[in-house]
Amino acid sequence: MIKTETHQDLRRGVREVCANFPGEYWRELDAKREYPEEFVRAMTKAGYLSALIPEEYGGMGLDLSAACAILEEVNKSGANANPAHAQMYTMGTVLRHGSKAQKEEYLPQIASGELRLQAFGVTEPEAGTDTTRLKTSAVRSGDRYVVNGRKIYISRVQHSDLMVLLARTTPLEEVRRRSHGLSAFLIDLREAVGNGLTVEQRRVMMNNETNELLFEDLEIPASSLIGEEGEGFRYILDGMNAERILIAAECVGDGRFFIERATSRAKEREVFGRPIGQNQGVQFPIARACVNVEAADLMVKRASALFDAGEPCGAEANMAKLLAADASWEAGNVAVQTLGGYGFDAEYDVERKLRETRLYQVAPISTNLILSYVGEHVLGLPRSF
């Protein structure tokens, strides 16, 4: 293999944790649609999910490039970082924009794993990708806000103590720009669920606990507000580059997993008296998928290096996400083809990973929206919406 590996010690440690959670573990949970509690606990105990929390709050204090190496390694092992990844980055909104009191109260407990902040409530049934049209409202009433509305596909709520919520605090008709008047809140789910917040699980394509949330006069303390009222959209956008780069790294991990599985099978499996990988019709698609995963990895590395240097990286983060999601999907498809009928068989893990990696063409941002970002912000083409 070509040598692109960075953070070797860190990767070795992550591999050691993941080795305790082989394909069988994930397959069983996938069949039962259960949350990988033991895996998330092990990753927390080893400290990896606190990678981005500064040392002064008890975290590992690593940069985004290191965090990318962790998540890539998880997915490369055949595991799925999705149930755990949000614990790594959702706290970024609190870290960057929270008050001193919020940071001191929550970050050390998130770093130790005592508290989980891995729910992030943005998407709504009616607003969809057009976030600024979201309708969930938070109305100030004395020392509280009263929240009403509906969210959809909000992941990991049952495995979170806290959730970052984006809600409208000034009606759309009263703001100068659509992106104004939205606010971010840190909601304590332990108090909210059953007291104005109802959580209903949605069954989706892969084992991902994602939910519909109904807010009916949920009262939250005014101190739940993160930063300034009305600035929430900007705060959420700030965290999106990190999220896109980290998820792109997971896709690179998925791509490498698929290529490894396809390559081993192509070497071992003999049909017509020779290994199937001796046929260039089998070899070339795997080789092409490998080229594309390696190219995507370079863009992930470039985006994370810019992020770590504090440079603007919106274009690179979006490009990395698109390239890596496409490359992992292509590699998954090639792996299925190489394994033939076995590619569809749960015991070989490829079909499960293919379903898992498919998500990243749609969430947290869809491919079309990335292309539209590049069209408008990189190429200067006219705004389409």
Which residues of the shown chain bind ligand FAD in the complex (CB under 6 A)? 120-123, 128-129, 153-155, 204, 208, 210, 359, 362-366, 368-369, 372, 385
Closer CB to ligand FAD, 144 or 358, in the complex: 358
Closer CB to ligand FAD, 172 or 240, in the complex: 240
Amino acid in position 17: V
The number of residues making up the chain comes to 385
Closer CB to ligand FAD, 210 or 224, in the complex: 210
Q: What Rg do the C-alpha atoms of the chain give, in angstroms?
A: 21
In the block, tokens 């006069």 appear at: 217
Closest approach of ligand FAD to the CB of residue 52, in Å: 18
Closer CB to ligand FAD, 76 or 156, in the complex: 156
- As a 3-state breakdown, the chain gives helix, strand, coil percent values, each rounded to 5, of 55, 15, 25
Closest approach of ligand FAD to the CB of residue 111, in Å: 21
- Those residues with Cβ within 8 angstroms of residue 260's Cβ, 6 or more apart along the chain or in another chain: 76
| Tokens standing for residue 116 | 């989980």
Closest approach of ligand FAD to the CB of residue 151, in Å: 7
DSSP for 276-299 reads: GGGSHHHHHHHHHHHHHHHHHHHH
3-state secondary structure of 206: coil
Closer CB to ligand FAD, 129 or 201, in the complex: 129
**Residue closest to ligand FAD, measured at CB:** 128
- Contact call for residues 188 and 116 (beta carbons, < 8 A): no
Closest approach of ligand FAD to the CB of residue 139, in Å: 21
Closest approach of ligand FAD to the CB of residue 328, in Å: 16
Closest approach of ligand FAD to the CB of residue 189, in Å: 13
The rounded Cα 176 to chain-centroid distance in angstroms is: 32
Residue 70: how many CB atoms within 10 A of its CB? 31
Closer CB to ligand FAD, 32 or 203, in the complex: 203
